[in-house]
Structure 1
């Protein structure tokens, strides 16, 4: 039986080729994803490990150097005194104090350099008396910065921008433009720089003034003296730690950073593997279809094997061995292709400007094992049902070909199961759509969608006859070829269903995501126009806080009639930490258009606060309610609710006057500033505002249309990425149509020969095969688009619970394009099978069995 199975594989190489390609593509996507993410993750991890090569111990606020920020009350600081005590520890050879933050550098062309949030500023720590050297940043040109107005640039940034020692560079920390002289260029192992970011160094006192406070550090790092272990150094350092600080070994820091990198990569890896799974799922239909047709075509052969003594188990095993061989070949080829895809994706990142640290291509054992197991298991599982069906054929019945048609009982059972699944899935989806929050509805929505898809797949043979019959009037236009094509497409409903289902799944996902993205974008447009009356919002390009100088510059601009900052400050309300938003109580009503359920912005001064309805309902507040609050500086106060408004994603939470909030903020900064101009929004007004702010590349001046477009760009980018990933599933679906038609042509060779003999021209044969493919593809397309719109609507109902402006938007133009895509898939897939059918020798075909 083993020899028989292997002989069958070699005898049907052409017919199994499409199956191999389908599995190969899915496996290549899986292995390519694993290789790519492992390569990037390994490169970043090794780069980060280099950054900790001179760190044996780090002193920082408990929970990390950022953890002390953003909470009310006294914040932990590492002072100069802590650094001096660390230097006196017997086990410490080198001690370094560091402070860092955002520093946007403009190139010579005036544009922002780096990747926005990766634009970093830090201090060059030269030791006591500023006479030493910072081992982290060896200078390749010039010297280290020693006073205000001087900076040093990393070598990669200097090469990209063309800055040299002696040049003046424009940069911004929190809004105002600075002009500093480049005095040095340094090399670094910083992973941020390796990823395409920028690093600007200041002298320590300047960096402290810009990013922290005079005499204070974010972190103090220690290098152990010879003979001192990290554990011993940590034990010594525990005695000098201030309250709220901790000592972390360099080994632990490197491990934590590696885990953080791995976690950040896991999201992308999971997303890509989901689409690889979709491709493999679609491939299952092709594999099952292929083996079903092979078994059908070899019925007499299998019956003969049974007649000469082969058992059912041996016949089943024979078919599964064929699947194992096909799966192994496809998996190995897919793994090789995946390694190439991983290398290509890494190169592509470099081409689009996303710099990746240098490192080797990583093909680990998990990628190899996962790829091989996935390809083989998927193929064998998909072939199992056809193998069982082959084993159940009685020898006598098979030889007389009375087994071919499915029994009425089997069809009734199949349709009943499909109807139950479809009904259960629809009920789950509709139930999820009624839930109040996305968190509650996610699981039932996903489960319902999966069950409904399975139900539709099971029901597709039943649906194929009425749906394809609806195309009969159109098919009559093509005469005999059209009539034959329609009859052929419904001759074997199960085969038609399996072929159409592959395309149905891809178009369901594409349509559903398009409907959701379009509807969410429409909701955001409504929020941008309905929530704000301001002509412009001013913010940092990376949305870090703006300095108060920006607000003061705008106030001096004669064209501005009203302005208000939006400041964020943490405060404790009851047992929870909430973020208070500081606004100008006198002008906020002119700049926003919020729907108040009670009260208003009038008199928003002193201890008055307006809150969104969700917060008010959760805390059972109403106009006149008073509540205690602990501000950022730890001082206590009492606020009184003077208004309740309907919040949205643009504006929500607690709003109070800046005169009340500012005295309690450690550093007075704004997330954005809203302004209204005398003549409204215009290009000249925007240009004037940008000029007033020093044409700063780090600052965004956006009107409502700009704000909406910037959000639209994010959705468009995400949607295009999804389209690209789902294209893999569509390609696999195309292979499925080609495979089905090619094998169908082979199966109907005698029939095609007879048609040619009684006068059907080669052109007519080609047209018949093409129209059959077109009908099957449009059938899958119609089902996919219908399901996609339904899923888009139901998911939208879930989104609407947290996004009140959400309403269903059906992009009819794109849906028409998707239907045209389905038709194009059908026509493209039919090219080779149609050509093959037309070339059949009619006499040889008539004699074939």
Structure 2
């Protein structure tokens, strides 16, 4: 039986090639994802470890267990503590760190680095006058307020050399600094495309902490002292508001954090690989069903001469194992190439990755082999089992070919139950708010399975409805229609592969388009301001930015939005300080009760969600613990409908200011005399010093920035689901090729009675087109339904959400299905037309 199985594999090389390709693509995607994420994770972890080489123990201010800010939180670390730690037994040296965001502009005024990784820090010289973290390659360290040093990679990217003037920003206003030195560093952020600007310690403290204060203290152990022993000595002198962590723990935590970040990306990519493999299962099952059907008499003869059912099933599974092993090995090789390609592609999109080798772990190899072999054998098991159950006499006389009425009724009943319960769960999920995600997801899976099971039943009426359109193609069109419904199960399996891909694409397109429309409406409805000004990386703005904008020509109203943590009852809430005199001119919020007029002194306005959660109404007083730990009494003067842009507790900025340790703005809303225009925007940017770190955005910019994530996800989805569509194309080619082989005698007869080669080609192409469009229609229909349902959930948190059907794109998707059908038919149609009619008529 083993030799027979191998012989059958070698005898059907061309027919099994499509199956190998389908499995190979899925395996390649899995292997490529694992290689890519392992490589990126390993590179970042090694870079991170390099950045901590000089840290044996780090001292940080104590933070709450959940990492959140709370009123009266721990202050920065003092110079006195640094001096005390330096004298601890076992400490070789201690370095104080004062750091934060710093944006560097290149010579063309554009931001250098990765935004989130563009950092400013202090140069802290030791006893020898040097900072071991930042060895100077050129020039000297900064010594006064107007001087900085840059890392070598940033200086090279921006074209700076020692002596140049560098324009930069820390919290809004432009600083012009003299470049006194260029240093080298192993910092992982720099290796990944970020930048470091160094100030002298006093200047850095003025920018990031307070005079004589540090955000972190790093301690190096003396020779012979372990990190654990040093930490124990340091803890003896630490105040309650500081905590010590060993360098190894920091490195392990950083490695774990990087692994978790990569895990999210890996899960997303593997989900798409799973979709490709799921689609591939249909093709594999289809292929083996047809191969087994073609060898029915052969298998029956084997049964007649003594082969058992298990041996027949085992024979088919051995074939599947060989095919799966070949696909897995080639898929693994292709996946390694994909992993390397994704890394290069990431660089071409501006996302740089630290240097490091390509990581192909044993787990990746095992996963690729297991996935390829198991998926193929699983898909081939049912056809093999079905073949083994056919009685030898029935197989020899081919009476098994037609499915029994009982099996069809059972299949359709199961399909109807799955589809009905799935649709009901999806619809029920739309009414459950945030709790509806799980039932909706489970319902969508049940619905897809149910529709797949019902597809043979659906194929006849839907394809029959296309009969009038097919009449224009004459006898070829009529034969194509009849051929496409001759074997409904095969048609269903082929169309379902395309259906799943288009369901996901259509559903995500509906959701993305509707969300974009809702965000546009929200920006238009809730903002009266012409512009919103913020930092490029969303760190706090200096209040000087608002003062500059208020004094600018053409500006008629401004208001900052200042966030400050507070404690109300047992929960931490953020208070948002605004200007009560101008907020009404800049924001349009639908009030349920009250208005902005109540916003002054102790009067506040709150969004409806917060009011409902706290049980507040207009006139409700409540006690608040401010950021500095002092308590106060506030009173609700209005309740408004919040949105993604403005929500929470709005308070008079002058009420909030005395309790803030440092006054900063998250953003500034601006209204101008002439409204929004490019010339006004250019004037405002010029007023702010053409600062690359500051964003001046109009309503359209704000809307696009919020929707950018959805657009990026959608574009990624299109690219990733293209894999499923390619697998579906292979499935259509495979089905048509098998169909042509099975109908060789019939095609020979058609040629003999007068149908020319062109007519044969047209028949096969139309059959492929009909099957593809059938799958496309089902996919688009299901996608619209699931997109609507998911939108109902989104609408509970985005009040301006409204369903938008992208008719143009859905037309493109249907056209894509048609193109898939036409392309997939090229080779089978050519093969059918070239059949020798006499040889075909004699074929069995």
Q: Which residue of 1 aligns with 2:82?
A: 83
Shift of 1:594: 0.6
Distance (whole Å) between structure 1 residues aligned to residue 677 and residue 311 of structure 2: 80
Distance (Å, rounded) in 1 between the aligned partners of 2:65 and 2:311: 66
Q: Give 1:787 deviation, angstroms.
A: 0.1
* Aligned match for 1:473, one of 462, 468, 478: 468
Equivalent residue, structure 2, for 1:784: 779
For residues 606 and 350 of structure 2, the distance between their equivalents in structure 1, rounded to whole angstroms, comes to: 43
Do 1:571 and 1:632's aligned partners in 2 also have CA atoms closer than 8 Å? yes
Distance 1:442 1:133 in 2: 56
The residue aligned with 2:839 is: 844
Contact 1:101 1:121 in 2 (8 A): yes
1:165 equivalenced with 2:152 (yes/no)? no
Shift of 1:606: 0.7
Do the aligned residues in 1 keep the contact of 2:565 with 2:574 (CA within 8 Å)? yes
Q: Quote the Cα distance in structure 1 between the aligned partners of 2:649 and 2:2.
A: 74
- Cα displacement (A) at 1:709: 2.7
2:640 alignment counterpart? 645
Aligned residue number for residue 811 of structure 2: 816
Shift of 1:423: 0.5
Matches within 5 A, 1:202-213: 202-213=199-210
Question: Which among 136, 144, 155 is matched to residue 152 of structure 2?
Answer: 155
- Over aligned residue pairs, what C-alpha RMSD do you find? 1.2
Q: Which moved more, 1:75-84 or 1:379-388?
A: 75-84
Q: 1:337 maps to what in 2?
A: 334
2:124 is matched with: 125
**Cα pair 1:70 1:569 within 8 Å, conserved:** no
The worse-fitting range, judged by mean Cα deviation, of 345-354 and 224-233 is: 345-354
CA distance in structure 2 between the aligned counterparts of 1:136 and 1:618, rounded to whole angstroms: 49
Match of 1:233 in 2: 230
Residue of structure 1 aligned with 2:178, choices 177, 181, 204: 181
Residue 540 of structure 1 is matched in structure 2 by: 535
Correspondence for 1:316: 313
Q: Tell me the SS of whatever aligns to 1:60.
A: strand
Task: Name 2:373's counterpart in structure 1.
Answer: 376
Following superposition, the deviation at residue 78 of structure 1 comes to 1.2
Asked if structure 1 preserves the Cα contact closer than 8 Å seen for 2:76 and 2:209, the reply is no
Q: Give the aligned partner of residue 572 of structure 2.
A: 577
| Residue pair 2:598, 2:605 contacting (<8 A) in 1 also | no
- Residues 730-775 of structure 1, C-alpha deviation per residue, up to 9 Å, x if partnerless? 0000000000001111111111111111111111110000000000
Matched, 1:602 2:601: no
The whole-number CA distance in structure 2 between the counterparts of 1:632 and 1:241 is 24
Deviation (angstroms), 1:255: 0.4
Which of 552, 562, 578 in structure 1 is aligned with 2:557?
562
Q: Partners of 1:588 and 1:637 in 2: how far apart? A: 23
Give 1:435 shift.
1.0
Following the alignment from structure 2 to structure 1, what is the Cα–Cα distance between the partners of residues 262 and 206? 35
In 1, Cα distance between equivalents of 2:364 and 2:160: 43
Residues 451-505 of structure 1, C-alpha deviation per residue, up to 9 Å, x if partnerless? 0000000000000000000110011100010000000000000000000000000
Q: SS of the residue aligned with 1:478?
A: helix
Which residue in the other structure is 1:664 paired with?
A: 659
Structure 2 unaligned spans of 5+: none
Q: How does 1:159-558 map to 2 (within 5 A)?
A: 159-436=156-433, 438=434, 440-558=435-553
Whole-Å separation in 1 of the counterparts to 2:472 and 2:783: 31
Instruction: Report deviation, 1:353.
Output: 2.1
Q: Which residue of 2 aligns with 1:113?
A: 112
Separation (CA, whole Å) in 1 of partners of 2:672 and 2:562: 21
Q: Comparing 708-717 with 441-450, which one deviates more in the overlay?
A: 708-717
What is the deviation of 1:711?
Answer: 3.0
Which residue does the alignment assign to 1:41? 41
For 2:412 and 2:250, how far apart are their aligned partners in 1?
Answer: 59
Per-residue CA distance 1:412-448 (angstroms, 9 max, x = gap): 0000000000011001000001112x2x111111100
Deviation at 1:710, TM superposition (A): 2.7
Other-structure match for 2:71: 72
SS in 1 for 2:236: helix
> Secondary structure of the residue that 1:127 maps to in structure 2?
coil
SS of alignment partner, residue 304 of structure 1: helix
Aligned residue for 1:76, secondary structure, equals: coil
> What secondary structure is seen at the aligned counterpart in 1 of 2:606?
strand
Q: In structure 2, what is the equivalent of residue 636 of structure 1?
A: 631
Does 1:744 pair with 2:739?
A: yes
Query: How far apart are 1:611 and its partner, in Å?
Result: 0.3
Q: Aligned pair 1:693/2:688, yes or no?
A: yes
1:675, distance to aligned residue in structure 2 (A):
1.1
Matched, 1:61 2:61: yes
Q: Which of 689, 698, 702 is residue 697 of structure 2 equivalent to?
A: 702
Shift of 1:123: 1.0
Return 230-239 or 71-80, whichever deviates more.
71-80
Q: Secondary structure at the match of 1:279?
A: helix
Task: State which drifts further: 766-775 or 245-254.
Answer: 245-254
Residues 65 and 452 of structure 1: CA distance in aligned 2, closer, same or farther (over 3 Å): closer
Judge conservation of contact 1:324–1:379 (CA < 8 Å) in 2.
Answer: yes
CA distance in 2, matches of 1:220, 1:184: 24
CA distance in 2 between counterparts of 1:685 and 1:255 reads: 50
Structure 2 length-normalised TM: 0.99
Per-residue Cα deviation, 1:789-835 (whole angstroms, up to 9, x for no partner): 00000000111111111111000000000000000000010011101
Secondary structure of 1:144's counterpart equals coil
Q: Is the 8 A contact 1:76 1:243 kept in 2?
A: no
5 Å-filtered alignment, 1:704-783, equals: 704-783=699-778
Deviation at 1:76, TM superposition (A): 3.4
Structure 2 Cα separation of the partners of residues 62 and 711 of structure 1 = 34
Secondary structure of the residue aligned to 2:597 is coil
Structure 2 CA distance, aligned partners of 1:421 and 1:76? 59
* Distance (whole Å) between structure 2 residues aligned to residue 62 and residue 567 of structure 1: 24
| 1:246-290 deviation digits (Å, cap 9, x = unpaired) | 111111111000001111111111100000000000000000000
Partner-residue secondary structure (3-state), 1:231: helix
Quickly say closer, same or farther: Cα 1:838–1:480, change in 2 above 3 A: same
Whether the 8 Å contact between 1:65 and 1:219 is mirrored in structure 2 is no
Report the TM-score when normalising by structure 1.
0.98
**Are the structure 2 counterparts of residues 492 and 562 from structure 1 closer, same or farther at C-alpha, using a change threshold of 3 Å?**
same
User: Given that residues 751 and 837 in structure 2 are in contact (C-alpha distance below 8 angstroms), is that contact kept between their aligned partners in structure 1?
Assistant: yes
SS at match of 1:830: helix
Give me the whole-angstrom Cα distance separating, in 2, the residues matched to 1:575 and 1:65: 15
For residues 66 and 92 of structure 2, the distance between their equivalents in structure 1, rounded to whole angstroms, comes to: 26
Q: Deviations over 1:90-143 (max 9, x none)?
A: 201121111211101100001111111111111111136xx6211111111111
Deviation (angstroms), 1:186:
0.7
Question: Matches of 1:296 and 1:486 in 2, distance apart?
Answer: 22
- What do the CA deviations read for 1:178-222 (whole angstroms, capped 9, x no partner)? 000111111111111111111111111111111111111111111
SS at match of 2:588: coil
More deviation, 75-84/463-472? 75-84
CA contact under 8 A between 2:627 and 2:660: conserved in structure 1?
yes
Q: Aligned partners of 2:447, 2:73: CA distance in 1, in Å?
A: 55
2:515, 2:707 within 8 Å by CA — same for their partners in 1?
no
| Residue-pair matches, total | 844
Q: Alpha-carbon deviations, 1:697-719, whole Å to 9, x = none?
A: 11111111221233344332221
Structure 2 SS opposite 1:579: strand
Determine if contact 1:521/1:712 at 8 Å carries over to the other structure: yes
Unpaired runs of at least 5, structure 1:
none
Give 3-state SS (helix, strand or coil) of 1:321's partner: helix
Q: Give the CA deviation at 1:531.
A: 0.3
